[in-house]
Each structure stands twice: as C-alpha cells, then as structure tokens.
Amino acid sequence: MRVGAVQLTSTADKDKNLATAGRLIADAVVEGAELVVLPEMFNCLGTGAELRAGAEPLDGPTALWLADQAVEHDITLVGGTFVERDEPRNHNTCCVFGPDGERLAAYRKIHLFDVEVPGAEFHESDAVGPGDEIVVVDVDEIRLGLSVCYDVRFPELYRIATLQGATVVTVPAAFTAKTGPPHWEVLLRARAIENQVFVIAAGQRGSSNDTLHWHGHSMIIDPWGTILAENADTEGVIVADLDLDAQTHVRDVLPSLANRRPAAYRWPD
C-alpha cells in the first residue's frame, strides 16, 4: 500500500485551510497514495477562542468535506483532526473516511497538551476535553491505530493498539517548534520500533499566528525504525510504500512482541 502525509500551515481561516488541504491531497493521489493523512487541526488552528468558535459537529461541514475528498479521489482519508462540538465538552477528533465516503472511525484525542515549557506554552483543555477510548480500525489489508500529536509521549496507547492488531499507526500533529527538534523524531521512531508498526506522522509547519510555531518534519517510518520519507519544513506531501511482508519478517526475526511477559507487568500503586 502506498500512503501519503500532508504538511501545511493552518490558521483560523477555514476556507483557505481547506483549499490548501484539498490541493495537497490531490498531489498525494497523483503520486499514487491510496491512504492520505492530514495534520492535527488542519481546518482551523489558532487561539483557544478561535478553536472554540470553529468547533463543528461530527457530521458538520469539515466532516462532509473530508467524505467528499475521499470519494473524489477514491482513497482512505485520515482527516487529521478538527474540534468536534460535543456535550458536555468539545473534543479534538480524528475521523477516518473510506473511498465510499463512509466514516470508518472517530478517535477523540486522549492526552491533551497542557504544557508550560518556555516557548511552547499551550493549554489545550481550554478548548477541548480528553477522549477515553483507544481506536483501531481495519483499512484494506492493514489495521490502523489512531493517535494525535501529544499522544506520542504515552507509549501505553500504542502498545494497546498494537495488541489490538494495529500494523500501522497515524499521528496527525501540531508539534511545537520548541519541543520538536529534541523529541519528535525520537518519539516517532521509538513507537515504530517498540511496536514493530509503520508510523505515518503528518505535521503542521511554519507559524499559525505570532505565538504558535510548528516543527513540521512529517515522516513515514517503517517497523525497523527507518525513515522512509520526510518533509523537513515545506508545504507539501510525502509518500512511501508500506511493505507488509517486510513487517512480518521483522516481527519473526526479532520477536519482541511475542517475547512479552504480561504476567510480570504490574502497575505500581
């Protein structure tokens, strides 16, 4: 399967963001991508107030746009995330649409970026509440585990998704320019290596406003930890072929998943 990851700079201007995303999805399809991943908050990205104002229902305009894109291009589309209007709290939600336009899954980001690292201060919980369900979905010959950005720092999510059969995980992200250089690649490759899965990470790049600056560096990584494709800091797409037979070989010759000892693992009080 050939997959693609879109990298762009979203702002609070929804129309402009969707136009850019649509153009880049088309570019990925021209390069043969059958599954395309968009970044976190691809439709609207800005202050907490702008995120709250841009919230939409799960079947709102952005979701319908995603469904139409999947149908038009005959692809599976992992719709980055958008702020889902919900009660009692909004969510940062990733929807997956199949080539027939049907929604295959919706994952609500579990780990919220409430951080005060100098240069990366953000309180995501001002705009959304956390989800509480790990989501894995079948897509053709792969089983797809869903995650979003800050989730990548919590390996439990990825291990559980892998034990639920995930062979590929997606990471739509708006990873900060401050934390990205020391952490982004290391965390993505670690999640790929320890779970022997492919990782498709689609990132925001550039600056959404005067205070929100992003790392970019979208990546596609194989189960050995090899970076198959990367976009350092430009608007555009990357594509790569996922060799599922090679994944099976990795899991056979280095059987770290099979060598787990669950009976010895005890959470501390």
User: Is residue 269 domain-resident?
Assistant: no
Tokens 């139409």: give the residue.
68
The answer to the question of residue 250 being in a domain is yes
Looking at residue 6, its pLDDT comes to 98
| Mean pLDDT (the chain, rounded) | 97
- pLDDT tens string 35-56: 999 999 999 999 999 999 999 9
User: Would you call 36 exposed, middle or buried from its count of C-beta atoms within 10 A (0-12, 13-18, 19+)?
Assistant: buried
Question: For residue 258, what pLDDT is reported?
Answer: 97
Residue 267 lies in a domain: no
Q: How confident is the model at residue 117, as a pLDDT?
A: 87
The pLDDT value recorded for residue 20 is 98
Q: Identify whether 149 is a catalytic site residue.
A: yes
| 249 falls within a domain | yes
Q: What local confidence, expressed as pLDDT, does residue 217 receive?
A: 98
Residue of 34, 40, 56, 84 marked catalytic = 40
Rounded Cα distance between 269 and 267, Å, is: 7
237 bridge partner residues? 6
pLDDT given for residue 116 in this prediction: 87
Strand partners, 168: 144, 198
- Average pLDDT of span 60-76: 98
Catalytic residue among 14, 44, 56, 109: 109
In a domain, 266, yes or no: no
The strand order across the sheet containing 168-173 reads 136-139, 142-146, 168-173, 198-203, 218-221, 227-231
Q: Is 14 a catalytic residue?
A: no
**16 is a catalytic site residue:** no
- Cα-based distances in Å from 125 to 48, 68, 115, 183, 268: 9, 30, 10, 22, 27
Domain-embedded: residue 173: yes
pLDDT class of 58 with cuts at 50, 70, 90: very high
In a domain, 268, yes or no: no
Tokens 């709290």 identify what position? Answer: 89
In the structure encoding, which two tokens stand for residue 221, read together?
């990584």
- In the chain, how many domains are there? 1
Residue 240 to residue 32: CA distance in whole angstroms = 9
Q: What is the mean predicted confidence (pLDDT) over 50-67?
A: 97
| CATH number of the domain encompassing residue 25 | 3.60.110.10
Residue ranges making up the domain that contains 58: 2-258
pLDDT in tens, 161-216: 999 999 999 999 999 999 999 999 999 999 999 999 999 999 999 999 999 999 99
Q: What is the pLDDT of residues 80-127, one digit of tens each?
A: 999 999 999 999 999 999 999 999 999 999 999 999 888 878 889 999
Q: SS3 for 211?
A: coil
Catalytic one of 44, 94, 95, 149: 149
Structural domain contains residue 263: no
200 exposed, middle or buried (CB, 10 Å; 0-12, 13-18, 19+)? buried
For the whole model, what pTM was predicted?
0.97
